Amino acid sequence: MILELLAVGLVVSACLAIYLDEAVYSVAALACTFIFMTILYALSNAIFVAVFQLAIGAGTLAVLFLSGEMLSEKPREKKILKKMLPAVVVALLMSFPAIFFSVVVTPANVSSEVSFAQALWNMRAIDVVLQGLVIVTVALGIAIILYERKVGES
């Protein structure tokens, strides 16, 4: 039951990170996503992956939080609850299959003797490379925006 609750929290916080307009709230929701993912990895006996995810998440959040504070415009009105409610409802609907349906799929080319930790380190190399590429792209985009602001002010 705890894994299902963590999955729901992961989906809801990820949807809120995308949906929220204000940068601070969006980064806070992304922090919750990273924390839920770290807990899921730790509960699946992939401690090194959990520590790695937490370290990468902390660095990413620091960059996003600082750049979001510097680059975003401050909203005039505070109707955050009315904007969050549809996103939470949609995220809850998206997470219902994780709660109520349990589908076990074993690929033909993967042995069932592979542990979760081994699968993360040995079979997800492209995923790790793409996650690093996304982080580098975000950092470069922020650097370009900051450079253009600096050139525009002088």
Domain interval for residue 38: 2-153
Q: What is the pLDDT of residue 54?
A: 84
- pLDDT-derived band at 103 (thresholds 50, 70, 90) equals low
Residue of higher predicted confidence among 12 and 148: 12
Residue 122 has pLDDT above 80, yes or no: no
* Long-range CB contacts for residues 84-91, cutoff 8 Å, separation at least 24: 84/16, 84/19, 84/20, 87/15, 87/16, 87/19, 87/20, 88/12, 88/15, 88/16, 90/15, 91/11, 91/12, 91/14, 91/15, 91/16
* Residue 140: predicted pLDDT: 78
Stated pTM of the model: 0.60
pLDDT of residue 73: 66
**Residue 45 confidence class, pLDDT cut points 50, 70, 90:** confident
Q: Tell whether the model's pLDDT for residue 38 goes beyond 70.
A: yes
pLDDT at 108 over 60: no
Q: How many domains does the chain have?
A: 1
Average pLDDT of span 60-88: 70
